Amino acid sequence: MRKTEVIYNPQQDEDGSEMLMEITPRAANRLSKIMAQDQNPDLALRIQVESGGCHGFQYLMSLTTLPPLPPSASTSASASASASPSSSSSPSPSEPPTPSEEVAAEVTPSTTTSNTPTSTPDLREDDTVFAFVKEEEGQQQQPPSPSSSSSSRSSSPPKIVLDGPSLQLLRGSKVDYTMELIGSQFKISDNPHATSSCGCGTSFDIKDL
The reported pLDDT for the residue numbered 193 is: 77
pLDDT per residue as tens digits for the range 150-162: 555 557 899 999 9
The reported pLDDT for the residue numbered 88 is: 41
- Rounded mean pLDDT of 2-15? 93
| pLDDT at residue 205 tops 90 | no
- DSSP string across 61-109: EEEEEPPPPPHHHHHHHHTS--S----SS---TTSPPPPPHHHHHHHS-
| Least confident stretch, 26-40, 108-122, 145-159 | 108-122
pLDDT per residue as tens digits for the range 36-95: 999 999 999 999 988 765 556 888 999 999 998 876 554 445 444 444 444 444 444 455
The structure's pTM equals 0.71
Cβ(134)–Cβ(63) under 8 Å?
A: no
- Rounded mean pLDDT of 192-201? 62
User: Which domains, ranges and CATH numbers included, belong to the chain?
Assistant: 2-206 (2.60.300.12)
The reported pLDDT for the residue numbered 71 is: 65
- Rounded mean pLDDT of 27-43? 96
The reported pLDDT for the residue numbered 103 is: 62
pLDDT tier, 114 (very low <50, low <70, confident <90, very high otherwise):
very low
Distance, CA of 161 to CA of 144 (rounded, Å): 23
Kindly provide the b/e burial profile for residues 51-71, where b requires at least 16 CB atoms within 10 angstroms of the residue's own CB.
eebebebbbbbbbbbbeebee
Average pLDDT of the chain, as a whole number: 75
| pLDDT at residue 146 tops 80 | no
Cβ(99)–Cβ(43) under 8 Å?
A: yes
The DSSP output letter for 13 is -
| pLDDT at residue 140 tops 60 | no
Residue 9 Ramachandran class (φ > 0 left, ψ -120 to 50 alpha, else beta): left
